[in-house]
Structure 1
């Protein structure tokens, strides 16, 4: 039987060099809508902290603080938690790996669609993955009763999920999420909660509650919201016993001095955070309205990205390629999101000018595919 042609697809968003080489487009000409990074760029306070650190030769000549004392202090203040309940690593995956090992998770329910690294990390840790298909008609929302029933029926000892949900950006309100965690706790089930994009809805975070609940571990990303993903910093918050187990399994010196200094400055920059949230709502709302005009469905996101669903008549991979070759715009292909049906692409919310360019280009690409 004849095999279908191989489809080129980067493993993650933001892979501009790989895409540029594949399609013969200079990387510097590409506008990246595939990575969900704050378009404001790094806070001036973080850049100033980096300049000060580099001006002192001791920054590079000395080992980083093994205990990450100042970084944990600032994280604790920013997240309204305690330093003793915080573990820090160079990104989400090392934290999840340490959690799976320390809690000896054996069977995990994974609501899908989901970020591809969840599944891969679980498999790499020897954890049996039990996928649970969320309802597209219900915007991939979480139903506490249904999820707990699935956990019990499949004999799972853990639940891994994101809030806001990834890839849809749909938010589960804190009260509803808390109910899910309490129901899981009644059966001794651990909840591993990724709040990578909760900075866009901070009032709905359960980070503070994580230190007080025996079955909850919350993961937070610092670098996406503050546009410094090149520094690779993430943290987890949980009760004393769980965090102690995590820290024993994280390699020494997981964060560089430069990354620590920049993140400390960023987390204290409240004006940057307030402006980022306000601008994101305005730009996301404009994009939703324009996409609706183009007859493209968007899920009700509370983040800095939108998941787009196209009609059955649209070849989304062709649209993805046309946007690169003809318009130098990179969208996020969704082929490798576990459990997501065909017909989806995802976009970041970027600057006003970039968003306008995106809409013009999408309108043109859609029109040309119908010719």
Structure 2
């Protein structure tokens, strides 16, 4: 079934408020095999809403609209739907009673304009709102189904998940399946080129989305052979792209990494120069981080590296602060200082200027993993902020791969 999502709100068009409703709805509807054809943002003007409703009804089967169901003069979505469908608005005593009860229970005075929310287009059903005054509306008209929901994200999400989503999952029998594969350390065009040179099932529809140093591959399959096609891609990714693949779905690399580290029972400590504490900050963002994070030291200067991390001055003098040798010494020493199973270090040139003859974006990472000690070099000259972010992502990925064999 084809779907349109319409988000009303002049404040969104003006850039004053960010739309999160369409993203939420698109994700949930896609998960159950519905095909999102349009996401439309329109003003609060009734004529604009009507125009978008008519367009959506001509091109799709299900139309979801958020916003414009409140009590004020600029809340015109129900009026626009009634006019677009050539239906009258009828007063609902039941909804009026709920409105009175809502205000009484909240010890607030109900103004007369709130009764505007008790009107429904004829033949429409109310979708009750347990978190606010604006009821939703469901209307079946000319073989199309319209769902009107509040614009307040918390109210919309609760209403959708509790009262609309369960019914949609029952009625949608399309054999459409989706799966997302997440990669790091490979560009969007390179990944696409590698995959599309292979022989893949004809029923596979692929799309790519680039992020901050990451790429998401979306697989869409529509027919009875979907299961075998998904299995084909699972095997393909796990065998040919293991150097870049880190997980499926919406879980971030950080979430997957921290979950695996916590389950392993291992601990980690950080010695940061180039990343300036960003790695430690990220490792402690999630609940339960005290189970695996022992501590960290930001040793930005060579003096701090010598005095606090106890790096041999000869290493710094011979190889420089930005080197494999310094990264190795930092990783080994931080693991010893905190008695951690894993020690990680970062040293490099964040930019924009060069240092010690090394260009901006030159990074060295050291890792001590039990008795193993190794380092690697990165060269990614984005900008100062993104260089540091990218380094932490690659570190998480490298250690996560080590944990796979633990």
**TM-score (ref. length: structure 1):** 0.30
Structure with greater strand share of residues: 2
> Highest CA radius of gyration, 1 or 2?
2
Would you tell me which structure has more helix in proportion to its own residues?
A: 1
Structure with greater contact order relative to length (CA < 8 Å, sep ≥ 6): 1
Normalised by the length of structure 2, the TM-score is: 0.28
